[in-house]
Structure 1
Amino acid sequence: MLFQVGGQGTRPTFFEMAAAQQLPASLRAALSYSLGVFAMRRPFLHKVLDYEDEFFALLMLVLETHSLRTADASFAESLYGLRRRAVEIIPEKHTSLKESNDRMHLSGLRKKQKILSVAFMVILPYIRSKLHSIYNREREARLQASLWAHDDTRLGDTDYLLDRREISPVSDGDMVVEESSLMQAKRKIMAVIGACYPSIHATNEGLSFAYQLLYLLDATRFYSPSLHALGVQVSRATGQELMDAASRISRIRSREIERLRGPPWLKAFQRILLSCIYTSLDYAQTGLIAAVFFFKMMEWWYQSAEERMSAPTVYPPPLPPPPPKVAEEGIPLPSDKSLCPLCSQKRVSPSVLAASGFVFCYTCICKYITQYKRCPITLIPATVEQVRRLFHDF
């Protein structure tokens, strides 16, 4: 699978390099989400989630090693059609000391550069992830300590019990003292990491940003400090290089198959096993990207289904209740609806009686209810608190 973002020449664009750099983080997030979904139905997968850093580092170690061995590129770079090249400075002859006409020559990666590339792409991210988790734990511990700082008695009792449990040699003898010293040393190391990690992280991010900005402005050909430290540049792969890589892979695999030793049944078993491994590695890129798209599609599908199921059912509005009937002994309604039933005049400060819904003059209805405690038309019991002023006369 090969994606070409664009651009001319062998120098990749900034967007190609950024996409290749961000792919492992996106892949890890997708795999973590997928394992989390499966762990809801298969609880034994929680053990894999407990060792998420180790699991992903092992996976990337296999992928990066295979990609550097066969394509001279990382897993993400090979996906975008990029290749790593060793930078060699060749001095020009017949030049004066004041003039520097040295030119740069790009060649294939050496074995040492491949090993260091794997270390920069797998081991350093793993260490960074562990340091980040330690820093988060230390920060949460400090926050909790600051929240309980006002309770001196509780903290004092806790510290006293902790000290007695760690230092007292009565129960377990010298083993407890040794364990206590190890715990104290570990706690100090954690505190040092929690204090130093922000500076280390800020320095790393600042250097990465500076290199990316210089790469964007075409001031350097190294996209990151790690590439500069390795003396490696990333360039686009040509069609001939892709063909050479395919033939090199076939030669490496045929050589490995020829080296098989043992009885015929063992050779056959090893050959089948190698074929399965080769097929898995050949389709690893396509399979992982397809799995990411598949799980994101399933997430959208189930999220849409849950939204449809959890959406409240919209029922039609209920019919309004029938209007109250005029009592036989009540005041009859006037033919003109704008007149007050009590004074038979045009309503002044119209007000509705909530108990029955009829509209009167404010003063008329208040006087009547104060005296009779009921609606004058329906004879329904009412109070003055049920009189509501209207700002529009119907």
Structure 2
Amino acid sequence: MMAEVGAHLSSNAAPEQPSIFEALAQESLMEAVKPALRHAVKVLAESNPSRYGFLWRCFDELYLLLDVLLQNHFLSHCSASFSENFYGLKRVSGHRRGQLGLSSMSHWRSLLLLCLVPYLRAKLDSLLARHRDEEDFSIRLGQSRWQRMYRAAVAAYPYVSSAWQALVFCQQLLFVFGVAKSHSPLLWLARVRLARLSAQDIRDMELSWESEQGPVGESLMHRTWHLVSQATRGLAMSLSTTLSLGVFFLQFLEWWYSSDNQSTMKTLTALPSPPPPVHLQPPNQSAAESELYLQTCPLCRRLRTNATVLSTSGFVFCYRCVYAYVKTHHRCPVTGYPSELQQLVKIYSPES
């Protein structure tokens, strides 16, 4: 009896309307792509910081550009995002009654909500993490009006995020019981809903692709626009094919680089810590000078205060010196390894 009720809830009344499981599965697909690409860029940046470090520092902006190209291609040719098309879904405007193709307004609203909202959310999460670090380490910002507004906005963000999650859950619950036509408030804001692709939709997409391969006008402008559109389409198709082939591999990467698995691997492959870089110490020093040098901050060249180690390299600095440097440059001052504020570890001596 319970299985029949569950099947009824997941199937919905309209045959073309997807189930809640299909809708949530297509959302989780793109959520798995970004962490995998981020880790690949991080490995590349750590292998050669001087050449590829900018990829790590500008990852969010580069991913936004990639996402815009990919989603715009699929919205234009498949009336769906990449993940929705992967699961055989399409976006339908209210006035088109299930036909393939979005209006110009629905297209741009969908593109804006698909790409810009995740980017802004990632930036807000980064600001929130930075604010928590500043609070944990008792770093007080200036008391200007802008700084007070910044602190108030960051403090209010967790409550706004919780309210948004509650709204999304309510929308999904209404979608399950057939009250709402879309499972996400973002789809409601875009004035579209999801539907399953039909055989006629697939034939229409194939005919549209074949017609676009035909000859274009003889004018130079038409030829130039045709070449640009073909290059953009080829890039988007290459990206979509690559993502489609690697989508199942992403689940393996997500497990492999999970915190639980990494802690197990570190335990199994743990090696002794390497000796300190003796060559950095000036030669011909007395014992007292050597001891003083070992307690000197590499940045300010003075006796360290509030000693803090950067876990990516192992060097010890004054906390305020290394905090300001890593916050600005996102790398180790000595080795150049990509670093973040979360990798600062304060050292507490027995005397403190």
TM range, normalised to the smaller chain? 0.5 to 0.7
Aligned counterparts, 1:82-93, within 5 A: 82-88=89-95
Compare relative contact order (CA 8 Å, sep 6+) and give the higher one, 1 or 2.
2
For residues 252 and 11 of structure 1, the distance between their equivalents in structure 2, rounded to whole angstroms, comes to 30
User: 2:219, 2:42 → 1: CA distance?
Assistant: 40
Cα offset, 1:276, TM superposition: 4.5
Distance of 1:203 and 1:308 partners within structure 2? 40
In the alignment, the residues of structure 2 paired with residue 190 and residue 114 of structure 1 have an alpha-carbon distance, to the nearest angstrom, of: 33
CA contact (8 A) 1:34 1:295 kept: no
Distance 1:198 1:115, change over 3 A: same
* SS at 2:161 equivalent: helix
CA distance in 2, matches of 1:232, 1:259: 38
2:131 aligned with 1:131: no
In the alignment, which residue of structure 2 is the partner of 1:111? 104
Please say if 1:278 is aligned against 2:233.
yes
Which residue of structure 1 lines up, in the alignment, with residue 199 of structure 2? 239
Counterpart of 2:92 in structure 1: which amino acid? R
Question: Which position in structure 1 is the counterpart of 2:167?
Answer: 207
The equivalences for 1:216-295 within 5 A come to 216-252=176-212, 254=214, 257-258=216-217, 261=220, 275-291=230-246, 293=248
TM superposition score normalised by structure 2: 0.61
Q: Which residue among 58, 61, 66 is the counterpart of 2:73? A: 66
TM-score for the superposition, normalised by structure 1? 0.55
Write the mapping of 1:110-189 to structure 2, written as runs, cut at 5 A.
110-145=103-138, 184-189=144-149
Deviation at 1:309, TM superposition (A): 8.9
Contact 1:31–1:292 (Cα < 8 Å) also in 2: no
**Corresponding position: 1:55 with 2:48:** no
What per-residue deviation string (whole Å, max 9, x for no partner) do you get for residues 121-172 of structure 1?
1111111111121122112212222xx8xxxxxx9xxx9xx8xxxxxxxxxx
Task: Give the letter aligned to residue 72 of structure 1.
Answer: S
Secondary structure of the residue that 2:84 maps to in structure 1?
helix
Indicate if the aligned counterparts of 1:11 and 1:234 stay in contact, CA closer than 8 A. Answer: yes
With over 3 angstroms needed to count, the CA separation of the structure-2 counterparts of 1:24 and 1:37, relative to structure 1, is same
SS of 1:233's partner is strand
CA distance in 2, matches of 1:300, 1:135: 27
- Indicate conservation of the 8 Å contact 1:135/1:193, yes or no: no
Shift of 1:295: 7.0
Distance 1:204 1:226 in 2: 11
Deviations 1:99-138 (A, max 9, x none): xxxxx94454210011011111111111111112112211
Tell me which residue corresponds to 1:366.
none
Say if 1:261 and 1:34 are closer, same or farther in 2 by CA, change over 3 A. Answer: same
Give the distance between the partners of 1:33 and 1:259, measured in 2 at CA: 47
Contact 1:211 1:222 survives alignment (8 Å): yes
From the superposition, tell whether residues 308 and 226 of structure 1 become closer, same or farther in structure 2 (CA, over 3 Å): closer
Take 2:251 and 2:165, find their aligned partners in 1: how far apart are those partners?
29
Give 3-state SS (helix, strand or coil) of 2:94's partner. Answer: strand
Distance 1:239 1:295, change over 3 A: closer
Cα gap change, 1:69 to 1:274, in 2 (>3 Å): closer
* Letter of the structure 2 residue corresponding to residue 219 of structure 1: V
| Structure 2 contact 45–55 (Cα < 8 Å) conserved | no
What root-mean-square deviation, in Å, do the aligned CA atoms of Structure 1 and Structure 2 show? 3.5
Query: 1: distance between equivalents of 2:40 and 2:62?
Result: 14
The one-letter amino acid of 2:220's match is R
Tell me by how many angstroms 1:272 deviates.
6.5
Aligned to 1:84, the other structure's residue is in SS state: strand
CA distance in 2: counterparts of 1:124 and 1:274, whole angstroms: 26
Q: Distance in 2 between matches of 1:254 and 1:221?
A: 38
User: Could you say if the C-alpha distance between residues 200 and 296 of structure 1 is closer, same or farther in structure 2, counting changes exceeding 3 Å?
Assistant: closer
Deviation at 1:49, TM superposition (A): 1.3
Tell me the equivalent position of 1:98. none
CA distance in 1, matches of 2:191, 2:170: 17
Q: Identity over aligned residues, as a percent?
A: 24
Q: CA deviation at 1:82?
A: 0.4
**In terms of Rg, which structure is larger?**
1
C-alpha separation between the residues in 2 aligned to 1:295 and 1:221?
A: 30
Preserved CA contact (<8 Å) 1:260 1:270: no
- Gapped regions of structure 2 (runs ≥ 5): 1-9, 272-352
